[in-house]
Structure 1
Amino acid sequence: MDTIIRDFPYQNWITIIFVVCLISLAVAKSFYYQQFVDFINLRGADRYISNRTRGSFFFEPLQLVLLIIQCTGISLLIFTAYCIYYEVEFRDNIKVFGLVLLGYSLFEVFKFLVERFISYALRFYNRIQPFLYKRLNLKNALGLFALCCSLVFAYHQDINHQIVYIILSSIVFIYFIYQLWLLRLYRDDFIRFPFYFILYFCTLEIAPYFILYKFIANG
């Protein structure tokens, strides 16, 4: 009982993050219901993009909320997995979560800006918007899933390491398979712009995540 009372305050900040994210998502859903339906339907992006006349979907309120949840969820999952793997207390490593969140957020923003620059430079942005939208929706969904898993890990820090590996591997596997499906779906566009495909898949997908993995592994 004493252990539960002693540890709860340090796990409680994770619960607060979880609740704030869910409330933010619920509020955004109430104001942007149709866009939320498109988010749930990972394949339903073409109709949404075709109805847009200007601007970027990335800067819409619902997408910004989902992006924040994605960054928070993925960062929190990495943090909880780190604490479980090295058998350290959450309370002693809150700064680690802050660094992971900052690093992952900057990584995603930088990657997004590079993608936009390349697609605009090659005059390919309008054609690639559905691809980017579907990929972002999946990452947001995986971020929400990661947020839920992090809450479970926070209250079961003695959880089997194999379960943590399975969760992390499943997220990476789903993202990889979905990427292949998107590449197959939009293969005609990529064939017309092979230079963008090389820059995108090799430079913007494989290299950044490999660097991020090495940074986390060596950190």
Structure 2
Amino acid sequence: MLREVPSYTLYTILLLVCLIAIALAKSIAPKRFQEFILVISNSKYLKIYGKDQKFLDYYDGLLFLNLVISSAIFCLLCFENITNTIEINTNLIIKLMVGISIFMLAKVLFERLLASLFEIETIIGAYIFQKISYKNYLGLLLLPINAILIYTIVPNQTIIYTVIILLGIVNISGLITTLKMYQNTIKTNFFYFILYLCALEIAPYVIIYAVFGT
């Protein structure tokens, strides 16, 4: 059943910004973007572009912009339709986007610092590139999903949780791909890799849940 569409000016503007960011990324590196689209089923993208990582990459930066905005929109849709207690406004979504950006960027910088201390830069660098690539891919998936949830389907808890599970499966498949690609390196640095996962992949989300989930 189609939703009776009220004014979604703010959401519309943000979705247009996402589309522009993706279009610019594609125009900057059309071949890379074409291979990126297949990253979920083919590790070729990770093998080729993971070797030439840059701290500042316009291509990844544009996809990251889409990821941040799309993630913020989806979070607001979740809170709005599950709790029914949040009033959507410009200040709220800006704060959420800034918070998501700071969290992701600070996490990557801290991960690289620890990788240097543990002397496992090679595997962690590849792992970070994989995470960035798959998260940017999630941003691409979220764009049409958000559009559907805003303009077409009335979201409920079942739909929201189904989308979350789908995104989780994509993220886990990315981790499995990396583990397969670098399994020999992981075996030789197994203790540090497990310590890294616990400290920087599990603990931050447990803390966030403890703070905001109660």
* TM-score over 0.5 (shorter chain): yes
Once residues 111 and 31 of structure 1 are traced to their aligned partners in structure 2, the CA distance between those partners, rounded to angstroms, is: 27
Q: 1:150 aligns with which of 140, 146, 171?
A: 146
Q: Counterpart in 2 of 1:211?
A: 207
Matched, 1:16 2:17: no
Contact 1:76 1:97 in 2 (8 A): yes
Matched, 1:46 2:47: yes
Q: Counterpart in 1 of 2:161?
A: 165
Give the C-alpha shift of residue 62 in structure 1: 0.4
Question: Where is the helix percentage greater, Structure 1 or Structure 2?
Answer: 1
Q: Which runs of 4+ in 1 moved over 6 A?
A: none
Matched, 1:193 2:194: no
Once residues 82 and 11 of structure 2 are traced to their aligned partners in structure 1, the CA distance between those partners, rounded to angstroms, is: 18
Give the C-alpha shift of residue 188 in structure 1: 1.4
Q: Deviations over 1:36-86 (max 9, x none)?
A: 234223212212234x3xxx4342100011111111111211111110112
Matched, 1:28 2:29: no
Q: Counterpart in 2 of 1:80?
A: 77
Q: Counterpart in 1 of 2:67?
A: 70
Once residues 157 and 104 of structure 1 are traced to their aligned partners in structure 2, the CA distance between those partners, rounded to angstroms, is: 26
Contact 1:84 1:157 in 2 (8 A): no
Give the C-alpha shift of residue 31 in structure 1: 1.7
**Residue type matched to 1:60 in 2?**
D
Q: Counterpart in 1 of 2:110?
A: 114
Once residues 141 and 58 of structure 1 are traced to their aligned partners in structure 2, the CA distance between those partners, rounded to angstroms, is: 19
Q: Counterpart in 2 of 1:140?
A: 136
**3-state SS, counterpart of residue 87 of structure 1:** coil
Once residues 81 and 46 of structure 1 are traced to their aligned partners in structure 2, the CA distance between those partners, rounded to angstroms, is: 35
Change (3 A) 1:37 1:119: farther
Q: Could you tell me which runs of 5 or more consecutive residues in structure 1 were left unpaired when the two chains were aligned.
A: none
Contact 1:118 1:196 in 2 (8 A): no
How many residue pairs were aligned?
208
Q: 1:131 aligns with which of 127, 130, 144?
A: 127
Contact 1:58 1:64 in 2 (8 A): no
Once residues 138 and 54 of structure 2 are traced to their aligned partners in structure 1, the CA distance between those partners, rounded to angstroms, is: 19
Q: Which moved more, 1:105-114 or 1:186-195?
A: 186-195
Q: Percent same amino acid at aligned positions?
A: 25
Give the C-alpha shift of residue 132 in structure 1: 2.2
RMSD, aligned α-carbons: 2.5
Q: Could you tell me which runs of 5 or more consecutive residues in structure 2 were left unpaired when the two chains were aligned.
A: none
Q: Deviations over 1:2-25 (max 9, x none)?
A: xx68x31xx121111111111121
Give the C-alpha shift of residue 90 in structure 1: 5.0
